[in-house]
Structure 1
Amino acid sequence: MTARGNTLGGSTSPYLRQHADNPVHWQEWGVEALAEAARRDVPILLSIGYAACHWCHVMAHESFDSDEVAAALNDDFVCIKVDREERPDLDAVYMSATVAMTGQGGWPMTCFLTPDGRPFFCGTYYPKEGFLQLISAVKQTWRERRADVEQASDEIAGELRAMSGGLPGGGPPVDPRLCDAAVAAVLRDEDTERGGFGAAPKFPPSMVAEALLRNYERTGSQRVLDAVRRAGTAMARGGIYDQLAGGFARYSVDSAWVVPHFEKMLYDNALLLRFYSHWARRTGDPLARRIADETARFIIGELGTGGMFASSLDADADGVEGLTYAWTPAQLREVLGDEAYWAASLFGVTEAGTFEHGSSVLQLRTDPDDRHRFERVRAALLAARARRPQPGRAALVVTAWNGLAITALIEASVALDEPEYSDAATVCARELLLLHLVDGRLRRASLGGVVGDSAAILEDYAALITAMCGLYQLTGARSWLTTATGLLDTVLDRFADPGQPGRWFDTADDAEVLVLRPADPLDGATPSGASSIAEALQLAAHLTGDPRYAAAADATLASATPVLAKVPRSGGHWLAVAEAAVRGPIQIAVACDPTDSALLAAARRLAPGGAVVIGGAVDSSELLTGRDRVGGRDAAYVCRGRVCDLPVTTVENLVVTLEGSV
């Protein structure tokens, strides 16, 4: 019996739909595909990627569009395509296998599995000829050395299960010394010349930068703030940032932030928006303010879809990476005429080029001497760029990444005093709950207003709970907190390890059973599920006073001490949450009319990262129980953990009180 043809046309994944016309008989992961492999007694080819992935497109064009490759696959394999954005649980399992077998991972991921899902050979990108040779070798091995395949897959599955322990429960509480040691270790890896951390390729250190800002707020360390400034400035002025339209690319292929990998991901821009907004709020830096504003507008304008936000913009346009974004001096002259030389000097466009084929990626290493001239030039270049082929947009709406965007837009709204951003955050949260909350449980993703079947994982719940805690603080609407705590109770019931308090699984206890149940504690391109739920628990504990949340938050952070002690750059979000925790976190309750209170606005602007800020009438929330205006004036009550200061009624006194809360 042969495969039943390519069935991806009805998928809710834009990545899978990109492969719906391949001659390869792709199927989605599920019971039917696995059953077919068992019935036919053939191995599974599992290919995992995502819609904006450049090398996924290359392999698709070279191999999966090839009739020759399809003929080699269709009769002897069940071919399964997985979108890592829709099924991060599957991606985590088989990425672990790929890294274990090859020493590295990435996408496209190419795995060969037994019919019951055990991996026996894994890799990443293969050129067509190499892929055909691999297919032939796997066929021969499956036919002639089946016992060896079964033994190898058993051993690999066993090793993966042994590696999947995650963080053990227990451990000492986090304290300031641990945080300071983690920060010192991170700073030892700083590239003080070019900004950021480590060598090429350089990924935006959004979570680490946020943690460093929080450490600076606690310690006042100028060295820490300087590292924040160097990283933030280098990214904002380099080619990784779109100097014409705003928004950050995925990473820089070089150490100087010049040439990006051009895909633009929602999660990167959300995390960076949170950081730049916080930096702007804390220091007033004009570059930070501009980048925060432009990034917020990029998210809303370019990624907005049905009130929510799409996952990414592609790296390619017309199959060419960077086609939309790179410029030559001749192209500048064609658009700008006599102003081309000025623009080339400003944007770093050279005759030799900084990218491919003599083209350059725009940088903005110094501010223009004439802002009006700059805006005129930028508008002309944007108009010309709009006539070029444009990168595709992957319109998949991912719960976790939208949660990150909501939180970032709230931060931007406060930092820039821009209600448009908080309005966008509110609309996104409402639409997300209407579509993705099904029978009390969250789903991972949707496309075009149709929610997918994939269950949400821990990071989805955590990011959305944190976002709704933020909306509750901003609006005072009790419904946000009620929904957040309802979801948090589901997390406690379904994702926590009952035998080890503080340990979390990435999938629910009633989720599909895979080769292993993932429980990865390390932060990657996005915060890990475990570090994210630590933040959500911490916020909910102080907004509700519920001791269950406080105990779970403490246990979760205590489990992360090995990460902070040994690999702090892989625990940027853990460190940010820990920094908030060692300060209490700080809680500011302002007795006031929240629609018109200068003291409440100041509290939001001055609050350190991770603080809880709430405003309203006496007894309107747990933090305002028994707390009223003082002498007819708005009053701010500042607490650090269970220790509170006397109420203050002026912004000046609030500044003094917060400066003393270290």
Structure 2
Amino acid sequence: MILALCMSFLPAAMQAAPLVNRLANHPSPYLAMHGADPVAWQEWSPATVSLARQQNKLLFVSIGYFSCHWCHVMQQESYRDLRIAEVLNRDFIPVKVDRELNTALDAEMIEFARRSRGMAGWPLNVFITPEGYPVYATLYSKPDQFLGLISKLSERWLTDRDELKAAAREAAGGGKPVGSIPLKPASDHAAVWRQRLVDDALAMADPLRGGLEQARKFPMAPQLTALLQIHERHPDARLAAWLTLTLDLMAKGGLRDHVGGGFFRYTVDPEWHTPHYEKMLYDNAELALLYLRAARILGKPQYQEIAFETLDFMLAEMRDAETGAFITSTSAVDSEGREGGVYLWSMEQLRHTLSPDELALATRIWGLEAAAESDLGYLPQQVREPTAAELAQLEPVYRKLRKERRNRSLPKDDKLLAGLNGLALKALSEAAATAPRYRRSADEVKDFLARQLWRKDGLQNGMGHGKLFGPADLEGYAYAASGLRYYARLSGKAADHAFADKLAREAWRRFHSPRGFRLAGTTLLAAEKRQAVIADGPAPSPSTELITASLASHDKALRRNGVAALGFTVSPAGHDLFMHASLVAAMDAAASP
């Protein structure tokens, strides 16, 4: 009240102009959907940070993405609440961030949340000082709880801002680089780390249900791919059994869409039964490649069909018709806001769509005699193992449901991102070597990267509705360079190898120094960090992707960069090898004959 009273006596020219929401019609669907919120959302930019400094206010940075279910829930409950909007607009500089367009900022804030709260996820809401130091992080909150939090932080900022700023600076550690000590060449410790990775993975493995012993099951494509690569060079019966079990249960359970193809983001239970219904381009591109390789390495030809089915889903549901590139994700909720609404079937709908014999077969295989877990009905999946004859009989069942499902509407995030299309190009290129029908799609993605996103000033992050999103970060360059390397092997053209080399050289120049990698040109945070190696996430480590793309080049300078980077390490890699599985596999490949 005192502050408001003092402000009322200031000349109008000295009072800060009211903030307005700047997200309407943004080319990012996630940001655009917040364009009508009463919160005066700003974009994350130098101008916004400068505004926070001018007004000496905390930045409230809310990070999410379009297919995140709880991001939508928090929007409906909190960001459209006029009481909450009033506090955010008056006492903070509210910023909305699409994590897929600001991967470096997102990674820094995820790490801050884990370090300060012991957990992370989305929606991720972080309060940052005007100088660029994070103070406090919180995830999804109920409206009253969230209102109480921002009110208390507002009061604390008025009374103890210097103390909060000092604490935030100290917690950031002054932006010291992480891990910049060169160790022995990778070949000297590759065998030790490889065995430790395998031992660690099997110690954490769920021996009955595949994956890891966790309450929720994620596909972990980078780790499984790395371990499969290691098993190919150094066969291990225990590892092969666990990989096979995991791949089998992911394909049979609710993680996979048995009607339309493709994989969901994760399951909320340890049985691979009940998914969170968003589908991500990175998951599906990686899993298509994983199953394609596993078919050969593990001797399971049925995995190849799963890989092709996944690519066919991407082409049918995620391909942009104008460019031939792939969109980012499909939503967990349907156009009516119902979670899983596109994928679930009531018994009445099944009776209407299927013949009595087909329904009887589906009931046995899908376990429909039990009560549906959702009010919307059942998710088709292999609760019981079908015979070969029953699998063939299920095909017309799936065709009928696919036809009926075309009447359902599914929101999509139609951003076309450089990095994620690089992952798709990698999978398409390897598939095209076996199935030439994927060659044309690979050609189109390569052309999109080369003609639409490559500019004189470098690679662009992507585009939405014809508008470019600005310079690509390390992830964009690394994934695109890796995908282009695979495409060049397919095409056999020197020009394609040269383009992959060009992207790799630019990535090393922009994002690497003797102190390590940085994820972007700048995050606008005060403590910009470099890392000697970047961990795997849902997608593979961008530093490892750049290293492997460089080692596969005929350019001597690129190969030297890759070899030198493999000779660096950081303590987290030694203590948590599972999250650095791609790096260990790259070291093993470099050390192997």
Q: Is the 8 A contact 1:182 1:565 kept in 2?
A: no
Find the residue that maps to 1:200 and give its secondary structure. Answer: coil
Q: Is 1:379 aligned to residue 395 of structure 2? A: no
Task: Map 1:363-374 onto structure 2 (within 5 A).
Answer: 363-364=381-382, 365-368=384-387, 369-374=389-394
The 1:422–1:183 alpha-carbon spacing in structure 2 relative to 1, beyond 3 Å, is farther
Whole-Å separation in 1 of the counterparts to 2:446 and 2:232: 29
Select the structure with the greater relative contact order (CA < 8 A; seq sep ≥ 6).
2
Whole-Å separation in 2 of the counterparts to 1:125 and 1:340: 40
Task: Map 1:55-94 onto structure 2 (within 5 A).
Answer: 55-94=70-109
Q: Which residue of 2 aligns with 1:579?
A: 588
Q: Which residue of 2 aligns with 1:447?
A: 464
Task: Map 1:316-331 onto structure 2 (within 5 A).
Answer: 316-317=333-334, 318-331=336-349
By how many angstroms is 1:287 displaced? 2.4
**Which residue, out of 432, 438, 450, partners 2:455?**
438
Q: Is 1:267 aligned to residue 267 of structure 2? A: no
Residues 123-172 of structure 1 deviation map (CA, whole Å, 9 limit, x = unaligned): 1111111111112111111112222222222223336x34x515643334
Q: Which moved more, 1:439-448 or 1:125-134?
A: 439-448
Q: Which residue of 2 aligns with 1:556?
A: 565
The 1:273–1:69 alpha-carbon spacing in structure 2 relative to 1, beyond 3 Å, is same
Q: Which residue of 1 aligns with 2:363?
A: 344
Whole-Å separation in 2 of the counterparts to 1:394 and 1:311: 6
Find the residue that maps to 1:27 and give its secondary structure. Answer: coil
Task: Map 1:105-120 onto structure 2 (within 5 A).
Answer: 105-120=120-135
By how many angstroms is 1:358 displaced? 7.6
Find the residue that maps to 1:145 and give its secondary structure. Answer: helix
By how many angstroms is 1:401 displaced? 1.1
Find the residue that maps to 1:111 and give its secondary structure. Answer: strand
Find the residue that maps to 1:45 and give its secondary structure. Answer: strand
Residues 184-227 of structure 1 deviation map (CA, whole Å, 9 limit, x = unaligned): 22122221211112312111021222222222221233322222
The 1:44–1:358 alpha-carbon spacing in structure 2 relative to 1, beyond 3 Å, is closer
1:471 partner letter: Y
By how many angstroms is 1:265 displaced? 0.4
2:455 partner letter: V
2:422 partner letter: G
1:382 partner letter: R
Q: Which residue of 2 aligns with 1:547?
A: 556
Q: Which moved more, 1:437-446 or 1:514-523?
A: 514-523
The 1:425–1:392 alpha-carbon spacing in structure 2 relative to 1, beyond 3 Å, is same
1:394 partner letter: D
TM-score by length of 1: 0.82
1:436 partner letter: L
The 1:46–1:549 alpha-carbon spacing in structure 2 relative to 1, beyond 3 Å, is same
Q: Which moved more, 1:55-64 or 1:468-477?
A: 468-477
Find the residue that maps to 1:241 and give its secondary structure. Answer: coil
The 1:550–1:352 alpha-carbon spacing in structure 2 relative to 1, beyond 3 Å, is same
Q: Is 1:485 aligned to residue 501 of structure 2? A: yes
**Which residue, out of 287, 290, 308, partners 2:325?**
308
Residues 70-119 of structure 1 deviation map (CA, whole Å, 9 limit, x = unaligned): 12221222111011000111112222222222111111011112223222
Find the residue that maps to 1:78 and give its secondary structure. Answer: strand
The 1:549–1:143 alpha-carbon spacing in structure 2 relative to 1, beyond 3 Å, is same
Residues 405-443 of structure 1 deviation map (CA, whole Å, 9 limit, x = unaligned): 1101112222xx322222211210111222222224112
Q: Is 1:230 aligned to residue 245 of structure 2? A: yes
Find the residue that maps to 1:351 and give its secondary structure. Answer: coil
Q: Which moved more, 1:282-291 or 1:531-540?
A: 282-291
Whole-Å separation in 2 of the counterparts to 1:471 and 1:168: 35
Whole-Å separation in 2 of the counterparts to 1:568 and 1:75: 45
By how many angstroms is 1:182 displaced? 1.7
Residues 201-254 of structure 1 deviation map (CA, whole Å, 9 limit, x = unaligned): 111021222222222221233322222211111100010000001111111111
Find the residue that maps to 2:567 and give its secondary structure. Answer: helix
1:539 partner letter: A
2:507 partner letter: V
Whole-Å separation in 2 of the counterparts to 1:494 and 1:370: 55
The 1:167–1:395 alpha-carbon spacing in structure 2 relative to 1, beyond 3 Å, is farther
Find the residue that maps to 2:227 and give its secondary structure. Answer: helix
1:253 partner letter: V
Q: Which moved more, 1:269-278 or 1:217-226?
A: 217-226
By how many angstroms is 1:448 displaced? 2.1
Task: Map 1:369-448 onto structure 2 (within 5 A).
Answer: 369-388=389-408, 390-414=409-433, 417-448=434-465
The 1:559–1:377 alpha-carbon spacing in structure 2 relative to 1, beyond 3 Å, is same
Unaligned runs of 5+ in 1: 585-662
Q: Which residue of 1 aligns with 2:199?
A: 184
1:437 partner letter: W
Find the residue that maps to 1:280 and give its secondary structure. Answer: helix
Q: Is the 8 A contact 1:397 1:445 kept in 2?
A: yes
Q: Which residue of 1 aligns with 2:527?
A: 516
Q: Is 1:5 aligned to residue 20 of structure 2? A: yes
Q: Which residue of 2 aligns with 1:534?
A: 547
Whole-Å separation in 1 of the counterparts to 2:368 and 2:432: 34
Task: Map 1:250-289 onto structure 2 (within 5 A).
Answer: 250-289=265-304
Q: Is the 8 A contact 1:446 1:452 kept in 2?
A: yes
Find the residue that maps to 1:110 and give its secondary structure. Answer: strand
By how many angstroms is 1:570 displaced? 0.4
**Which residue, out of 211, 215, 218, partners 2:226?**
211
The 1:529–1:466 alpha-carbon spacing in structure 2 relative to 1, beyond 3 Å, is same
What is the aligned-residue RMSD (CA, Å)?
Answer: 2.0
Whole-Å separation in 1 of the counterparts to 2:586 and 2:420: 18
Whole-Å separation in 1 of the counterparts to 2:267 and 2:583: 24
Q: Which residue of 1 aligns with 2:138?
A: 123
Q: Is 1:19 aligned to residue 34 of structure 2? A: yes
By how many angstroms is 1:562 displaced? 5.3
Q: Is the 8 A contact 1:266 1:310 kept in 2?
A: yes
1:397 partner letter: L
By how many angstroms is 1:480 displaced? 1.0
Whole-Å separation in 2 of the counterparts to 1:419 and 1:348: 38
Whole-Å separation in 1 of the counterparts to 2:488 and 2:144: 56
The 1:121–1:178 alpha-carbon spacing in structure 2 relative to 1, beyond 3 Å, is closer
**Which residue, out of 496, 514, 518, partners 1:505?**
518
1:289 partner letter: Q
Percent same amino acid among aligned pairs?
A: 31
Unaligned runs of 5+ in 2: 1-15
